[in-house]
Amino acid sequence: MKREVASSNVTFSLLKKNPDFLNALINDIGSCILILNNKMELRAFNEPLKNIFSNFEGENMLYLRCGEALGCAYTVEEKSRCGETKHCKHCEIRKDALFSYTNNKAVYNKQVSREFFMNNGKKAMKHLRYSIRTFRHNRDQYIMVIVNDVTQLMNQTSIIREQEVRISELQTKYSKN
């Protein structure tokens, strides 16, 4: 009896035997997955990175540093590598990735809001949620950063809050009359 993956209670370890399926799965999810080495250089990534965040559309991004691959505005405007701008020491993603690497501890569901250059060359404020963990492969330790763009959600939340404030003001105004 052949069972479907979704209907069985099996971990993803069964996918080790089917790298094509695993690659399709990783490239079809909406989250960006970045695999970094100890120098914060990109060693592997999935398709959403090129389609959503990067200002290096269609280029080979291997060995770019994390901020460069994401299109961090500081790296572009200062014409510096990620880790070398005057803002890098305050970068939450960088600090959390280095923490995870040195302490072998995962970082879950953190948020950062900052400007990034998009693949159309324009700068945009982005709200990101990310998680970070390390893993070992062939004696080397790597950092996996999973990034979700929650900009649209945050913008809609802001609009709703503004509308709630306006409604409250109107209720207060008309309840006095």
Give the single-character DSSP code of 177.
Answer: -
What's the full length of the chain, in residues? Answer: 177
pLDDT digits (tens, 9 = 90+) for 25-62: 676 677 889 999 989 999 988 888 877 776 665 567 88
Higher pLDDT, residue 119 or 127? 127
What is the band of 12 on the pLDDT scale with cuts at 50, 70, 90?
low
CB 12 within 8 Å of CB 21: no
Residue 20's DSSP bridge partners are none
Domains by residue range for the chain, with CATH: 20-150 (3.30.450.20)
How far is residue 168 from each of residues 36, 159, 173, measured CA to CA in Å? 48, 14, 9
CB 107 within 8 Å of CB 133: yes
- Stated pTM of the model: 0.76
pLDDT at 1: 46
Radius of gyration over alpha carbons of the chain, in Å? 20
In whole angstroms, give the CA distance from residue 115 to residue 36: 21
